[in-house]
A and B are shown apart, each in its own frame.
Chain A
C-alpha cells in the first residue's frame, strides 16, 4: 500500500507569512508524529497524535506552531508568522499503534526568506 505522503515537497515563503504543511499517514495507523530537521542539526520531535487522545505538544518550539489531525487521519502543521529560523525539513511519521515502528514521509523542505 501507499506510504506516508507529505505536501508540498518544497515551500518557499516570506518572513511573516503563515504556512500549512500536510501529512497523509498510512491508512489505519493510529499514531502520527511531526519532526523537524534543521540544516546541520539532528531530528527533533514536535508533536504526537494517538487516536482520539489529546496530542503531546511538548516539542512545539513556540505558540506560532500548531497542528491538528482531522478524523484520525490527515494532519496539518501550521506555522504562523514564519521566521527565518523556521527553515528546515519537516517530517511526518506514522505507526500502527503507539510505540511501534514508525514509517516516515519524504518531508517538506521549508525555506523562509
Chain B
C-alpha cells in the first residue's frame, strides 16, 4: 500500500472547469510537494508547503496537517494544464521524497 494516496487517478474535464486533485498520507510530514509532469516527461515543481495555503497564478495548494491531506486546485482550467500531477511528501528526519502515483489530468477544449 502506497504511503501517499492520490485521487482521482484520472480526471477529464472541460476547459474552464475548476479542478481539484487530492493527496493523503498516513504519517506526519515536514513538507509536501506538488509536481507537474508533462507528456514529454519533464517534471516541474509547483509548490512546496508545510502548512496553510499557497497560490501561484491559477494554481492553489492547500494542506491540512491534522487531517494529513492536501489539495491542488486549478481555476479556469486550460488544455495546457493537461499533465500528470504528483504529490510527494518528506517525512521528519528524512531528506528523501515519497511519491504518490500521480493524477493524470486531461482538459478538453
The residue that B102 contacts in the complex, of A42, A56, A100, with Cβ under 8 A, is A42
Q: A43-B88, A106-B42, A107-B41 are in contact. Are A48 and B95 (CB under 8 A)?
A: yes
Residue on A with the closest CB to B86? A43
Interface residues of A (CB under 8 A from B): 31, 33, 35, 42-45, 48, 50, 56, 58-59, 89, 91, 93, 98-104, 106-107
Q: Which residues of B contact A99 (CB under 8 A)?
A: 30-31, 90, 95
Q: Which residues of B contact A31 (CB under 8 A)?
A: 95
Contact (Cβ within 8 A) B96 A91: no
Annotate B8-41 by CB proximity to A: 1 below 8 A, 0 otherwise: 0000000000000000000000110101000001
Contact (Cβ within 8 A) B96 A58: yes
CA of A100 to CA of B49, assembled, Å: 10
Closest CB of chain B to A32's CB: distance in Å? 11
Ordered nearest first, which 5 A-B pairs have the shortest CB separation?
A: A104-B43, A45-B96, A43-B99, A42-B101, A42-B99
Closest CB of chain B to A60's CB: distance in Å? 11
Q: Which residues of B contact A89 (CB under 8 A)?
A: 41
Q: Which residues of A contact B95 (CB under 8 A)?
A: 31, 48, 50, 56, 98-99
Q: Which residues of A contact B100 (CB under 8 A)?
A: 42
Query: Which residues 18-74 of B sit at the A interface, judged by CB distance below 8 A?
Result: 30-31, 33, 35, 41-45, 48
CA of A110 to CA of B88, assembled, Å: 24
Q: A43-B86, A91-B43, A107-B41 are in contact. Are A102 and B99 (CB under 8 A)?
A: no
CA of A106 to CA of B42, assembled, Å: 5
Residue on B with the closest CB to A106? B42
Contact (Cβ within 8 A) B45 A42: no
Closest CB of chain B to A94's CB: distance in Å? 11
Q: Which residues of A contact B7 (CB under 8 A)?
A: none
Q: Which residues of A contact B99 (CB under 8 A)?
A: 42-45
